[in-house]
Structure 1
Amino acid sequence: MMELYTDSSPNGFKATIALAELGLPYRLRHVRIEQGEHRLPAFLALNPHGRIPVLVDHDTGITVFESAAILRYLAEKTGRLLPAQPRQRWAAITWLQFHAASMGPMLGQRVHFELADGGANVAATAHFRHLCDAALATMDGRLADHVYLAGDDYSIADIASFGWLHIADLVGFKLDDWPHVAAWYARVAARPAVQLGITLPAPATGA
């Protein structure tokens, strides 16, 4: 049996979507970040950095944190959501890392400076808006002639990018300037497992 420690957040949704796609049984542990539960000693023993999600696989004795690592662990454990053909497999891994390095962190900073901070820091707001736009333009170019980020196959790369873009949509960052990303987003959002995953442990509100 596996346990997933998570909250309603972009990174958490990546794990709940993947588990729903794979149909794997697991126990959901809701870590309420607003109540500081991610700083409790029991949780820090699982992830000393105090961030969700964390996956504990009791069958293997392996604990994994960082959402990209969890996605790859689940894909390799099951042999699914990561294409077998080497070219597409490495495309999936590359775009997973692109998200982890160049998309998710930039969107997170943009949300902070543009919304949480109200745009008070004009230079930082403009900087992270520019970086987000550049990342989305790169993704749009990839999706101009590929159905999914790895190619023809839906993969952990799509799950990773969807998690943050779902939040971006909720807080008003529209995808109108990137039509291929918008079309991809609609395809992924229509998947039943995705629709389930973004409700666990509770739906995001955009607040």
Structure 2
Amino acid sequence: MKLTLDWNCVIEVEEGRAQASHVSDLVSHHRQGNFEVALLAASASENSRSKKFPGNANLFKDRVSALGWDDLPLVSMPSILGLSYWDFSYIVDDDGKFKRDMDALWCVIAPKVTRSPSDYLPAGVSLTDEAIQSEELSKWRNAWCDVISAYSHIHDDRDVFVTNNTRDFQDNAEALSRLGMRQIFTPAETLEGLARLNSQGE
């Protein structure tokens, strides 16, 4: 079984939030060989205090290393200028299909957020890397992170998406399952489900 931790799980542990111990337990299970736990190479910046992306691949790796999670595999994401870590990304083979898949996920996860980031910028402001990090794009950036996380999880053919973002993911689980997301749980729910499976197998 392959589990994906979204960036909210990283922040849970970094900031000692309520689900931190459950996330750590999942990592321990990975190290014991019970199942695979991987991290997304896409960061949900809006749930961190800084409201920023980690910035570059080295800063991303530093944050992972600070948690002692260097041994966890990474789920790569599509290469998108200004939004992806080139060290952990890949070139999309079929750009048309990628856009259709992203549109379908976007309609479910963030239906009230327009796809074009330029819609959130003041008139005459170009969409540069700096603009992507701006406060004006914070809502769009957070939606994009959620959608690309879902896409990357599905593209990597993984089984369980682990997140605390119940509003955008668990509440839309039925629609997302039709798009390829098999199971969506919080860290605590994931542990409970795995415990039930183990007890049934005994």
TM-score (norm 2): 0.30
TM-score (norm 1): 0.30
Higher helix share: 1
